[in-house]
Structure 1
């Protein structure tokens, strides 16, 4: 689960190098959700942790 969370964080960071974080935040605003860059990273960490738990890591 921890390795999944770290993988999610690394993926979020790599995607943010290409502006995906800004695009995701703007898309959330279109649907009426107000998220910050911190929320963006937490979402990826949670998705990675869930994926790691389902995969059976750690």
Structure 2
């Protein structure tokens, strides 16, 4: 789970170098009509990383690895 958290955070950080964080925050604000910030962007990225890590672990368990 920690690897998913760190990979999600690292991926979001790399994307922020190219301005994706601003694009994502503006998109969230437009779609959901809320006042999202860069912190919201990182929180979503971490949550997606954790979910991806958990799904990866489940797939490994089912394959017997």
For normalisation by structure 1, the TM-score amounts to 0.89
Runs of at least 5 residues in structure 1 that lack an aligned partner in the other structure:
none
The aligned counterpart of 2:19 is: 19
What's the Cα RMSD here?
A: 1.3
* Bigger relative CO (Cα 8 Å, ≥ 6 apart): 1
Structure 1 stretches of 4+ with a deviation exceeding 6 A read none
Distance in 2 (alpha carbons) for counterparts of 1:25 and 1:51: 21
For normalisation by structure 2, the TM-score amounts to 0.81
Runs of at least 5 residues in structure 2 that lack an aligned partner in the other structure:
59-65
Matches within 5 A, 1:28-47: 28-31=28-31, 32-47=33-48
Deviation at 1:30, TM superposition (A): 1.4
- Higher gyration radius (CA): 2
Deviation at 1:49, TM superposition (A): 0.5
